Amino acid sequence: MRLKRHVQLLESTLKHVSARPFLSSQCNRCHFSSTSGASSPEQIAVLGGGISGLSSAYFTALEFPNTKITIYERSEELGGWIRSKRVKVPGGEVVFEQGPRTLRPAQNSLVTAMMIDYLDLRSQVLFTQQNSAAARNRYIYYPDRLLLLPAPGSNDPLVNWLRLANSGLLDGVWKVLTEAWKPGRPANMTDESLGSFLSRRIDKRPVQNIASAVMHGIYAGDIWQLSAKTLAGWLWHQEGRSGSITRGLWRMNEVDPPVKGFLALRHPYDVDLFREMRAETDGIPTDFIQQLASCSTFSFKNGLCQLTDSLEAWLEKDSNVTIKKGCRVNSFTKAKDGLQQVVVDVGDDPNRTTHNYDLVISTLPTPDVTDYVTVMTVNLYFPTPNLTPVQGFGYLIPQSVPFEQNPERALGVIFDSDAITGQDTAPGTKLTVMLGGHWWSGWQSFPSSSEGVEMAKSVIRRHLKITEEPIAVNATLSENCIPQYTVGYEERLKGFAIGAQNEFGGRLRVVSNQFNGIGVNDCITGAWDMARNLRGEGWKSKSCGLDRVLDERPWVPAEHWSPYVRKKE
């Protein structure tokens, strides 16, 4: 985005009392590209009011200040899976997060940082420092106790390594040293599960004991179903390129390095995207950059919903944006009679109506591309501080833990009081127990809230020896909340992208955790990328927003860069 676009936006704001809300401070911070001379769509519909929908509406509104944008959301509240709740307890209040709770300052967080800055939300951000217990102490429960994962600077590293080795958690890890001598995959193999890939390249035991726990923490998913090609793209392509990951790394970094620094394989689309992202987010203030560079995660004083609430408030101020809550989308189809429009059918009888749009941005789930898993989040608050036996982020439970140690099918427990400080006004211990995920796949019904709370209490009694009764609890069942990128995902996505392009000729764009990555940062970055591809005459192109999956260029060695470390060029 270049300066001109913001100036244009400012001008139109001044001209029309009703134009986009605008922060005067943005003007000298960001770069807006010019649309002068280019046409704009008159009417855009955004389907879905979660983080993908709100961000899509936000970035599209910035691109096209005079376009009418309508957001349709089925429920009465915007925000999707981001749901934070303030609960009164004796002595103050605590924040319960019912869905995602923190953001990581990873490469894909640059656009989020820019958005936070634009929304004037910086004063509300809470940072968890890299040297805090929450950042350094991550545990795995195996087979019947908490084991601290090694991290730079942790206490008693030798004792800890011995404890880990003695527990059996590290069995088979040493086989990573033999990876270079293992045969490459058959030429006709197009994808496999992450579990199978890592077992082939290393050993099955670390897959079951360590990697499966990590997959619980991110996807709440089954490592034997999730796609290696999608989740471990650069390792998968490294094996394809050099027959082995280790040999590939050696070749890339030592034999013929085109640039200095650690190299990894990346999709050329991502290389270009990161370059663009960096250029457009160049205006993020230095002190914010520094805060992000030194934290391990960040959130907001009132929880993650402060981001979605601010987006909603920003959009509500814009008279060109209409937000329709409690309005279901029944279908959307390409308009007949050669019209370059999409017809959207919304509402329930007798208020069911159809509307024509020049462009539809859908964030709704698309059948056949992914399965989903259901997660129950149980928040527990105890008035006594420091109830957990150790301090840290919390722990994950791998698939190898025997049933009798985890009959509730918990995926992990977050020590919220350590993980995010600054949200609660009452002292005490706050935990979140995550239940279900792939363990509940195929279930017809799920535990009730009260059953979930009992299951969570039973988990922490067994694992953490906490017997105190929580004085505030909240169980949330999020049905089909996390898409699963299972084996063959890329092929299915490709098929979907071609079909969508052919059917809608570019008048449908898709953005969601099904397509752009399952994290909040992924959805925001996906929305920004979609909107920037609409620029100029881009909105008339044939794309459906899934250009990356249709981009057949081979993966290339690219330098690893930290998003918040600004090198002198």
Q: Which residue bears the tokens 């390792």?
A: 235
* Nearer of residues 332 and 440 to ligand LM7OVKF4, judged by Cβ: 440
**Residue 249 engages ligand LM7OVKF4 in binding (rule: CB under 6 A):** no
Q: How far is the CB of 473 from ligand LM7OVKF4 (least distance, A)?
A: 17
The sign one gets for the Cα dihedral 484, 485, 489, 493 is positive
Neighbours of 354 (CB within 10 A): 14
Please choose, out of 189-197, 200-208, 316-324, 518-526, the segment that lies near ligand LM7OVKF4 by the rule CB under 6 A: 518-526
**Residue 377 engages ligand LM7OVKF4 in binding (rule: CB under 6 A):** yes
**Residue 102 engages ligand LM7OVKF4 in binding (rule: CB under 6 A):** yes
- Strand ranges across the sheet with 359-362: 321-324, 68-72, 43-47, 359-362, 508-510
Please answer whether residues 367 and 375 qualify as being in contact, where contact means their C-beta atoms are separated by less than 8 angstroms.
no
**Residue 519 engages ligand LM7OVKF4 in binding (rule: CB under 6 A):** yes
Measured in degrees and rounded to the nearest 5, phi and psi for residue 406 equal: -150, 55
Please answer whether residues 533 and 547 qualify as being in contact, where contact means their C-beta atoms are separated by less than 8 angstroms.
yes
Please choose, out of 211-219, 258-266, 274-282, 538-546, the segment that lies near ligand LM7OVKF4 by the rule CB under 6 A: 211-219
Please choose, out of 210-218, 284-292, 487-495, 528-536, the segment that lies near ligand LM7OVKF4 by the rule CB under 6 A: 210-218
Q: How far is the CB of 525 from ligand LM7OVKF4 (least distance, A)?
A: 11
Helix (H, G, I), strand (E, B) or coil at 53: helix
In angstroms, the CA 356 to CA 43 distance is 8
In angstroms, the CA 144 to CA 401 distance is 8
- Who's near 144: CB < 8 A, 6+ residues apart? 402, 405
Size of the site for ligand LM7OVKF4 (CB under 6 A): 23
**Residue 511 engages ligand LM7OVKF4 in binding (rule: CB under 6 A):** no
By CB under 6 A, name the one of 79, 105, 217, 483 that touches ligand LM7OVKF4.
217
For residue 184, give the DSSP letter.
Answer: P
By CB under 6 A, name the one of 218, 279, 313, 339 that touches ligand LM7OVKF4.
218
For residue 26, give the DSSP letter.
Answer: G
Please choose, out of 71-79, 514-522, 523-531, 559-567, the segment that lies near ligand LM7OVKF4 by the rule CB under 6 A: 514-522
**Residue 105 engages ligand LM7OVKF4 in binding (rule: CB under 6 A):** no
By CB under 6 A, name the one of 220, 307, 531, 544 that touches ligand LM7OVKF4.
220
**Residue 308 engages ligand LM7OVKF4 in binding (rule: CB under 6 A):** no
- Who's near 4: CB < 8 A, 6+ residues apart? 32, 33, 34, 36
Question: Pattern 106-145, binding to ligand LM7OVKF4, x per CB under 6 A?
Answer: ----------------------------------------
**Would you list the DSSP string of 87-154?**
EEETTEEEEEESS---B--SGGGHHHHHHHHHTT-GGGEEEEETTSHHHH-EEEE-SSSEEEPP-TT-
Q: If residue 250 lies in a helix (H) or strand (E), which one and from where to where?
A: helix 245-250
**Residue 99 engages ligand LM7OVKF4 in binding (rule: CB under 6 A):** yes
**Residue 563 engages ligand LM7OVKF4 in binding (rule: CB under 6 A):** no
* Nearer of residues 53 and 394 to ligand LM7OVKF4, judged by Cβ: 394
In angstroms, the CA 263 to CA 260 distance is 8
Token duo for residue 415: 């020590």
By CB under 6 A, name the one of 185, 200, 216, 532 that touches ligand LM7OVKF4.
216
**Residue 420 engages ligand LM7OVKF4 in binding (rule: CB under 6 A):** no
By CB under 6 A, name the one of 101, 200, 237, 463 that touches ligand LM7OVKF4.
101
By CB under 6 A, name the one of 35, 423, 521, 543 that touches ligand LM7OVKF4.
521
**Residue 434 engages ligand LM7OVKF4 in binding (rule: CB under 6 A):** yes
Measured in degrees and rounded to the nearest 5, phi and psi for residue 201 equal: -80, -30
CA angle 128, 296, 298 (to 5 degrees): 55
**Residue 241 engages ligand LM7OVKF4 in binding (rule: CB under 6 A):** no
**Residue 518 engages ligand LM7OVKF4 in binding (rule: CB under 6 A):** yes
**Residue 100 engages ligand LM7OVKF4 in binding (rule: CB under 6 A):** yes
The sign one gets for the Cα dihedral 455, 163, 416, 412 is negative
SS3 string, 339-362, reads CCCEEEEECCCCCCEEEEECEEEE
* Nearer of residues 329 and 411 to ligand LM7OVKF4, judged by Cβ: 411
Q: If residue 194 lies in a helix (H) or strand (E), which one and from where to where?
A: helix 194-201
Please choose, out of 68-76, 94-102, 114-122, 267-275, the segment that lies near ligand LM7OVKF4 by the rule CB under 6 A: 94-102
The sign one gets for the Cα dihedral 45, 61, 323, 85 is positive
Please choose, out of 1-9, 178-186, 516-524, 528-536, the segment that lies near ligand LM7OVKF4 by the rule CB under 6 A: 516-524
Q: Which residue bears the tokens 């193999």?
A: 189
Q: Which residue bears the tokens 């930290």?
A: 562
Please report, as residue ranges, which positions from 390 to 419 form the binding site for ligand LM7OVKF4 (by CB under 6 A).
Answer: 393-394, 396, 411-412, 414
* Nearer of residues 383 and 517 to ligand LM7OVKF4, judged by Cβ: 517
* Nearer of residues 396 and 544 to ligand LM7OVKF4, judged by Cβ: 396
Q: Which residues bind ligand LM7OVKF4 (CB under 6 A)?
A: 99-104, 216-218, 220, 297, 375, 377, 393-394, 396, 411-412, 414, 434, 518-519, 521
